[in-house]
Structure 1
Amino acid sequence: MADYHFVYKDVEGASTQWDDIQRRLGNLPPKPAPFKPPPFVPADDPDLRPKSKDWIDERSPEELEDLEDDLDDDRFLQEYRKKRLAELRETARVARFGSVVPISGSDFVREVSQAPPDVWVVVFLYKDGIPECGLLLRCLEELATRYPETKFVKIISTDCIPNYPDRNLPTILVYNNGAVKGTFVGLHQFGARRCTPESVALALCRSDPVLNDGQSGNDSSRETVIEGVRKKFIEKVVTQHEEEDEYSSDD
């Protein structure tokens, strides 16, 4: 006769009265604690955090573009996002160049001849060790920061033009739309060794609106540029006089 055994298994964690008696007598191990899952805690999602002005300030222009639909319910943040995006675009537009960039002969076509038609390029031909080159370079470096939408590059003269004579240095070539628009040989057109950023700026803009500070909108006429240069020159002179007067009063 077969030996049949029936094993009763209750819900996990449940116990029978018989089991309880056996545990009290020490015949069974203690009853295990019933399984209890840990409480649910949603994962931290940065996209679900409340948005603030500081949070928007940390976003890149691309991220701000993607946020347009996410901020529909918050009118203030939506307006702030648009304002911040406009500021970033304006900063990127104005800070187009802003320095005198060294280039080599192999870079010339790409950096100068193939520059966009709306960009004026000031090419500085120089050689180290020539004092006049250093003097003019300092003027150009200041102009590059003042007029960040004009492209300034510098190149060793013989890398640009083989066998270019040192007696012609420094030399400035002005390019626009792939063509030479102006040539300045030596310092005499800028006031010789007394040249200043202002005198260089006025000479560069004598016939064309070479310099662009990015603040004149679509008005980049020669007259507008020259007027801007004169205004900056007057501001500089006034500032220098104020500093001299303050220094004299301290004495």
Structure 2
Amino acid sequence: MGDYHFVYKDVEGASTQWDDIQRKLGNLPPKPPAFKPPPFTPAGDESSLPKDKSWIDRKTEDELEDLEDDADLDDDRFLQDYRKKRLAELREAAKVAKFGSIIPISGSDFVREVSQAPSDVWVVVLLYKDGIAECGVLMQCLEELATRYPATKFCKIISTDCIPNYPDRNLPTLLVYNNGAVKANYVGLQRFGRRCTPEGVALVLCQSDPVLNDGQSGSDPSTKAVIDGVRKRFLEKVVTEHEDGDDGSSSD
């Protein structure tokens, strides 16, 4: 028969009298503490939470609608009014189209994505070609603006897919659409200044119309409001870069 060996394993954390003596003499490391499971904490009951502004802020649109017949809120005029205000804010936010990036389109997509866009949506279309450095510069600026103004629709299309035989010397070209019509066009990178920056592009786009929309500007969609916002962000960026430069400089 084979030679079988059995290894007896005691309960984890158990120790013999001999081990205890050896530990006192320093011949063995200290005994590890016994395992203790973390204390059980029952999940909070939603119905036991205090009903205040923060409680309402955590609710979704559907949950806020369900609270319309809540007896507790009927007795609290402030919370009932705040519920209505919060519900209106969520509904208004849901109406705002969210894009947030440059959408690549082809010639067959143009009418649907650009000409037939909703009348309250401004569409900025970049005509470009890969390998042209100026197109890459403007593309980077538009990528930042698309993130900053997610309620404005940004698209890009290879120039000859949009307009057959469109000359490369005119690239990059920006077309601005609203309500199915061309509102502006900008040919070449020089239209955006010697140094093409997102702020410079934003100011050019909003010279005559409030093209850029962040979806959070409230009820004032005017050109002045948009340009004021662009200038404010530009100043904040300059101050931040200046402060970062000061932090990185060494004093003599």
Q: Give TM-score scaled by structure 1 length.
A: 0.69
CA contact (8 A) 1:94 1:213 kept: no
The match for 1:195 is 196
Secondary structure, counterpart of 1:188 in structure 2: helix
The match for 1:229 is 230
Paired with 2:191 and 2:68, the residues of 1 have a C-alpha distance of 53
The match for 2:65 is 65
Paired with 2:251 and 2:180, the residues of 1 have a C-alpha distance of 54
Determine what percentage of the aligned residue pairs are the same residue.
74
CA RMSD of aligned residues (A): 2.9
Secondary structure, counterpart of 2:146 in structure 1: helix
Secondary structure, counterpart of 1:210 in structure 2: coil
> Relative to structure 1, is the Cα distance of residues 224 and 59 closer, same or farther in structure 2, using a 3 angstrom cutoff?
closer
Instruction: Say which one has the larger Rg.
Output: 1
The match for 1:8 is none
> Relative to structure 1, is the Cα distance of residues 60 and 248 closer, same or farther in structure 2, using a 3 angstrom cutoff?
same
Look up the equivalent residue of 1:98 and give its one-letter code: G
The match for 1:114 is 116
Paired with 1:92 and 1:235, the residues of 2 have a C-alpha distance of 29
Please list the CA deviations of residues 35-64 of structure 1 after superposition, one character each: whole Å capped at 9, or x if unmatched.
xxxxxxxxxxxxxx7375899777643454
Any residues of structure 2 matched to 1:31-110 within 5 Å, and which? Answer: 50=47, 60-69=60-69, 71-74=70-73, 75=76, 82=84, 85-86=87-88, 88-93=90-95, 96-110=98-112
Paired with 2:138 and 2:158, the residues of 1 have a C-alpha distance of 14
**Runs of 5+ unmatched residues, structure 2:** 1-45
Secondary structure, counterpart of 1:208 in structure 2: coil
CA contact (8 A) 2:93 2:215 kept: no
Look up the equivalent residue of 1:123 and give its one-letter code: V
Look up the equivalent residue of 2:61 and give its one-letter code: P
The match for 1:174 is 176
Paired with 2:250 and 2:71, the residues of 1 have a C-alpha distance of 59
CA contact (8 A) 1:209 1:222 kept: yes
> Relative to structure 1, is the Cα distance of residues 67 and 205 closer, same or farther in structure 2, using a 3 angstrom cutoff?
same
Paired with 2:180 and 2:94, the residues of 1 have a C-alpha distance of 24
Any residues of structure 2 matched to 1:129-144 within 5 Å, and which? Answer: 129-144=131-146
Paired with 1:224 and 1:56, the residues of 2 have a C-alpha distance of 31
Please list the CA deviations of residues 88-116 of structure 1 after superposition, one character each: whole Å capped at 9, or x if unmatched.
43543556222211122222112111112
Secondary structure, counterpart of 2:71 in structure 1: coil
Paired with 1:109 and 1:67, the residues of 2 have a C-alpha distance of 43
Secondary structure, counterpart of 2:220 in structure 1: coil
